[in-house]
A = this chain, B = another copy of it.
Amino acid sequence: MPHMIIRGISVSHIQSISTALIADLAEVCSCGIDNFMLECLPTVSIFQGEVCDTYPFIEVGWFERGQEIRDAYAEVLTKHVMSLGIPEVEIAFKVYREDSYYWNGKLI
């Protein structure tokens, strides 16, 4: 954790920013780079009867860290995505409950 589930941005694009992005996010979160997961999720988007490009969207799954760190995290993530020439991206945070998250069968 944090998990980033990415739609509408190509694997090669994410590969090209992954190292610098995770270094910056680790600084925002004051944690090691091993904690971050970047996963591209393939979906097929449809509008007005046609298959279309998927809108760039990233869902971040993590434990609550407060508004200040969330804002900084979104800013860093957006900056790296926009560095790819992508003009728009939306990011939503999903908070895991600490009483409902298990590592190897035990609450963490």
A residues in contact (CB < 8 Å) with B: 1, 3, 5, 7, 11, 14-16, 18-19, 22, 37-51, 54-55, 57, 61, 67, 70-71, 74-75, 77-79, 82, 88-93, 95-97, 99-105, 107-108
CB closest residue in chain B, given A79: B105
Contact A101 B105 (CB under 8 A): no
Cβ contacts under 8 Å, A55 to chain B: 37
**A18 CB contacts on chain B under 8 angstroms:** 46-49
Of all chain B residues, the one with the shortest Cβ separation from A99 is B67
A38 pairs with B42, CB closer than 8 A: no
- Residue among A3, A40, A67, A104 with most chain B CB within 10 A: A104
